[in-house]
Structure 1
Amino acid sequence: MLSRVADSLYWMSRYVERAEHTARVIAVKLDSMVEQTPEDAAASWARVAEALSGEKQAVRHADAFAITRKLAFDRDNDTSLINSLSMARDNARQVREALSNEVWENLNRLYLRLSPVTMDSIWVHSPARLFREVLEDMHALEGVTYSTLSHGEGWYFLELGRHIERVQLVGRLLDLHFTAAANEGEAGPKYFDWLVLLKFCTAFEPYTKRYTASIRPQKIAEFLLFDAEFPHSICFSVDRMTEALARVAPGAPPARRAAVERLAGRLKSAVDFGQVDDLMRGGIASFIADVIRQCEQIHKQLYSSYITYGAETVL
């Protein structure tokens, strides 16, 4: 596969995953505001904004309207929902020949639908509804992507993009919640914040089926880090990354394959053999930060091995 095509498929998938995650987190947060005190809601919004934008102080004292506008519709915010969809669409356009009509039409229609929307136009009447509708469209896009594309080499670059992005997004949410719990005492996450964290990751119902309705931070960490069957757990995504890496560029020289596969294998071992009891005693935030860091290393090595490699690595 041409490195240009692999690059665009990989980034299209990352941006689609980022857009879906952003829409879901905003929808859940807007729906949950009425259940919290103003102080707790403000702290929760600050964590959400930091998780989605990476900016801590800029939004600490902003209200829900301003934060939602920044995270959803701000064209100057590189990680906003509209910018993520725009970048996904741009990458899809560059490899239009590698996509089905259904994938392109669903993605293009979603972007064109959201592009003219403003905060003022949605805020008065149930703003969460728009983001729930965006999520439905994202799920439709995911469905046609799965069912209309050949599951060949290009598919596995899509898988790599999706799951590298997902590990970092879920990891960031976990990191912020557990860091706040360790450092902020009574001002840290409350029972309702942990419940909302599960909903941020589409995990509330699967979690309650596994652990009943007992919302406990340690069990949440165990589920979102180590459950091998739940699609939004770190373990699940790492398994899919490892599988995808084994299937891309089958004709590549062994040395090129070995470097990135070794990094993925190291991450898989850390996740496979991690024990939540040990992490809760020894600092779970540092483990999550290390998982995110290893994902970034895999991303860089993936580029070096398969996308921007020099002529000397071909020989």
Structure 2
Amino acid sequence: MTGVDNPPWRPLNERGNGSAGPRELVKGVPDYLAPTLRQWLFQAVAKDRGSDGPVTKRVGSDLLESLRLRLRNEVIYVDPGSSGLIREWLYQGDDLLVLVDAVLAIKEPLANATDVAVQRERVLWVIHVKELGFRLAEAGSVWQVNRDLSGLEERVDGAVRSSVDAALAAADDDTSTCLRKAWDKAYGLQPDPSEAYSQAVKAVEAATIPVYLPGTPKPTLGTVLRKLENSSSPYTLVVDAGDGTPAPADPVVALMRLLWEGHRDRHPGGTTTKPITLESARAAVQIAVLIVQLVVSGAVLIPSL
């Protein structure tokens, strides 16, 4: 993967050989990145153990204990030493990413805390997380810190990420929660394609049902589709057709239909049931982002009765 927010810088020897453009992003943990991740983890634990009092207790003070419990691994590190600080992580190689991802998840409440009493600690932690993001980008890693500072996600084109951020900002809480979960399950360190697709559908349902089927009991995206496709007065877009009249909303409805019918693992046991692939899940999430943007922005016009 190249060109995804990857600066087109190359060392002098590579430029001398005629190489140009960004280098390939690295998916795992190469030898040159491992010491940086270990140092970041060491500093995270040092910061956690160095801060005490009610502030720390409120956000969880024993990071190592939380890591042991969440990862269900009795031994996280080797030889803690008399000072109680880590000298070496037991996890090596690509598993270092698992540790980093877990640390971010554990400290997420602090990263997004609004309590005035924890702001100094929050700012220091956010700076530490931003440093991690900078180092990952500098190393050409395919991984980056997610928008909530709660874990790692696969690096995507900046324009794609901006469109997701715009949809999250414009949507209501229910829609943005589902969309955020869908994105995390599609692009996170440990993806879950089935859940990503399911949450993408739920995000579109959360955005469309209050608009097109307010007050309807037990509505689904399928119910929304029947409403849009069978309306006696057609739904239109804010974009004009070639003859100057409002363009029909058929393209948006077609995307909804594609998302709905592509959810092939929704009902297990059917003749067309099949597992959701990661590629399919990611496409579904990006389709959901576009639909949510169009619906919440008012681009799909409701016909006057």
Q: TM-score range by the shorter chain?
A: 0.3 to 0.5
Greater radius of gyration (CA): 2
More strand by share: 2
Q: Give TM-score, length-normalised by structure 1.
A: 0.33
More helix by share: 1
Q: Give TM-score, length-normalised by structure 2.
A: 0.33
